[in-house]
């Protein structure tokens, strides 16, 4: 019997438990010896029993954390992108100029002006593929803005890349034509649309070539070719490491160097005739200090409105045609 009755000091009847209060696994006869140690875990989490190396249970392993998501791919440098010429005028001029073109993609069922370009390309034995507009959009997406594709106008040409020349080649072209050298130098123009606009203005104004730097300057990408409306196919373009050294080479050839700067003398008062080089600075900072020091003089465009500065491409066009005006008056 596990309980025994008794009376307390007040005469109340009570019961006292007289059984074994030990847990069942510690009582004799259950296959264990009284006082035997329970399995326990060490600091490393391994289960063990004193006198017994066999673990009581296997340790539960937590699932591994998922691998971090891969970092987004870096935007490629403009020089690493495939060189494309897109836009009807740009592709047409490239074909007419005999540019090395690998292939041309044109939208299905081309219209009148596209049919003319396709005919010129086939005459030049250039491979032409008709594709849907989505294919053209994907090809021109890296050259667009705000996640939108560039305006290809239904035609894209894959070329071998722009063919840069040396400064001496520009001077040689002027000598071959029997003309005094007329050069445009770009000191840090970073916007490809400004670059294309300046190349277009330089070609229309009769310049013999354009010089741009390899650093801090936009290369002649597909966007620049598009903005030039095909003028880049007819203009000699030199890409140099050091703009200051290029200016010294032009000086040695007898050219006067004029830097476009708001602090300069009015273009109506400066003599811009003869062998001449016009330097256009960065869109935000203007001419760098070293380039400014290499210029023979600074020239500015008179302003009369509320805004005191012009877009680099627009300013270059005005100054280039002012030189042409002065040349015609002098004659």
pLDDT of residue 132: 92
Boundary (domain end) residue, out of 125, 141, 159:
159
86 and 196 in a single domain? The answer is no
Flag whether 272 is in a domain: yes
Is the per-residue pLDDT at 60 higher than 70? no
pLDDT of residue 97: 86
Flag whether 90 is in a domain: yes
Which has more confidence, 136 or 307? 136
Distance, in Å, from the CA atom of 168 to the CA atom of 249, rounded to the nearest integer, reads 9
Which has more confidence, 209 or 41? 209
Per-residue pLDDT band at 139 (split at 50, 70, 90)? confident
Query: Looking at residue 195, which CATH number applies to its domain?
Result: 3.40.1280.10
149 and 183 in a single domain? The answer is no
pLDDT of residue 149: 87
Flag whether 9 is in a domain: no
- φ and ψ at residue 47, rounded to 5 degrees: -85, 135
199 and 312 in a single domain? The answer is yes
Contact 224, 180 (CB under 8 A): no
How does the average pLDDT of the chain come out, rounded?
83
Express each pLDDT in 94-129 by its tens digit.
Answer: 999 888 788 999 999 888 899 999 999 999 989 999
201 and 130 in a single domain? The answer is no
224 and 312 in a single domain? The answer is yes
pLDDT of residue 317: 96
86 and 234 in a single domain? The answer is no
Flag whether 18 is in a domain: no
List strand residue ranges (DSSP E) for 217-283, in order: 236-240, 256-266, 276-281
Express each pLDDT in 147-197 by its tens digit.
Answer: 788 889 999 998 866 788 999 999 999 999 999 999 999 999 999 899 999
Flag whether 93 is in a domain: yes
Q: What secondary structure does DSSP assign to 51-72, as a single string?
A: TB-S-SSPPPPPPPPPPPPPPP
* DSSP code for 11: S
155 and 171 in a single domain? The answer is no
148 and 224 in a single domain? The answer is no
Express each pLDDT in 200-249 by its tens digit.
Answer: 999 999 999 999 998 888 888 878 888 898 888 889 999 998 999 999 99
Query: Looking at residue 153, which CATH number applies to its domain?
Result: 3.30.1330.30
Question: What percentage of the chain has pLDDT greater than the value 90?
Answer: 49
Distance, in Å, from the CA atom of 51 to the CA atom of 220, rounded to the nearest integer, reads 81
Distance, in Å, from the CA atom of 87 to the CA atom of 140, rounded to the nearest integer, reads 11
Distance, in Å, from the CA atom of 233 to the CA atom of 203, rounded to the nearest integer, reads 10
Average pLDDT over residues 71-91: 68
Q: How far is CA 308 from CA 246, 292, 304, in A?
A: 30, 20, 8
Flag whether 22 is in a domain: no
Percent of residues in the chain assigned helix, strand, coil, to nearest 5: 30, 25, 45
Distance, in Å, from the CA atom of 233 to the CA atom of 90, rounded to the nearest integer, reads 8
Instruction: Please name the helix (run of DSSP H) or strand (run of DSSP E) that holds residue 112, with its range, or none.
Output: helix 112-123
Residues of the domain holding 109: 79-159
Question: Which one of 72-86, 166-180, 302-316 scores highest in mean pLDDT?
Answer: 166-180
Give the global pTM. 0.64
Q: What secondary structure does DSSP assign to 294-311, as a single string?
A: H-SEEEE----SS-----
Boundary (domain end) residue, out of 159, 176, 198:
159
Angle between helices 112-123 and 88-96 (to 10 degrees): 20
Question: What's the number of domains the chain is made of?
Answer: 2
85 and 196 in a single domain? The answer is no
137 and 186 in a single domain? The answer is no
* DSSP code for 45: S
Flag whether 40 is in a domain: no
Can you read off the two tokens belonging to residue 11? 């005469």
**What would you report as the CA-atom Rg of the chain, rounded to the nearest whole angstrom?**
41
pLDDT of residue 38: 55
Is the per-residue pLDDT at 4 higher than 70? no
pLDDT of residue 98: 85
pLDDT of residue 34: 47
pLDDT of residue 100: 79
Compute the C-alpha angle 209/216/306, nearest 5°: 85
226 and 266 in a single domain? The answer is yes
Q: Which residues of 216-244 are buried (b: 16+ CB within 10 A; e: fewer)?
A: ebbbbbbbbbbbbbbbbbebbbbbbeebe
Flag whether 205 is in a domain: yes
Question: What percentage of the chain has pLDDT greater than the value 70?
Answer: 74
Boundary (domain end) residue, out of 119, 138, 159:
159
86 and 147 in a single domain? The answer is yes
């Amino acid at each position: 019997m596990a309980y025994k009755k008794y009376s307390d000091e007040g005469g109340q009847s009570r019961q006292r438990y007289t059984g074994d209060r030990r847990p069942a696994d510690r009582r004799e006869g259950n296959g264990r010896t009284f006082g035997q140690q329970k399995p326990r875990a060490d600091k490393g989490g391994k289960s063990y029993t004193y006198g017994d190396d066999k673990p009581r249970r296997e340790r539960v392993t937590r699932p591994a954390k998922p691998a971090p998501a891969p970092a987004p791919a870096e935007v490629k440098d403009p020089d690493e992108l495939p060189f494309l010429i897109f836009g009807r005028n740009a592709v047409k001029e490239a074909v007419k100029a005999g540019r090395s073109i690998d292939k041309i993609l044109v939208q299905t069922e081309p219209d009148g002006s596209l049919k003319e370009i396709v005919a010129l390309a086939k005459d030049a034995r250039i491979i032409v593929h008709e594709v849907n507009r989505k294919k053209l959009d994907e090809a021109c997406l890296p050259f667009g803005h705000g996640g939108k594709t560039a305006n290809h106008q239904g035609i894209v040409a894959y070329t071998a890349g722009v063919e840069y020349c040396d400064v001496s080649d520009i001077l040689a072209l002027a000598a071959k034509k029997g003309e005094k050298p007329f050069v445009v130098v770009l000191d840090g123009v970073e916007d490809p649309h400004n670059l294309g606009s300046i190349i277009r203005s330089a070609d229309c104004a009769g310049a013999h070539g354009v010089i741009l730097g390899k650093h801090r300057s936009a290369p002649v990408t597909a966007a620049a070719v598009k903005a030039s409306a095909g003028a880049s196919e007819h203009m000699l373009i030199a890409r140099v490491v050091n703009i200051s050294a290029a200016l010294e080479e032009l000086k040695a050839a007898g050219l006067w160097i004029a830097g476009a700067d708001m602090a300069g003398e009015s273009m109506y008062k400066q003599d811009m005739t003869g062998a001449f080089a016009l330097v256009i600075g960065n869109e935000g900072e203007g001419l760098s200090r070293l380039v400014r020091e290499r210029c023979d003089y600074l020239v500015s465009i008179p302003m009369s409105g509320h805004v005191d500065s012009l877009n680099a491409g627009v300013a270059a066009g005005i100054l280039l045609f002012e030189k042409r005006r002065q040349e015609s008056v002098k004659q």
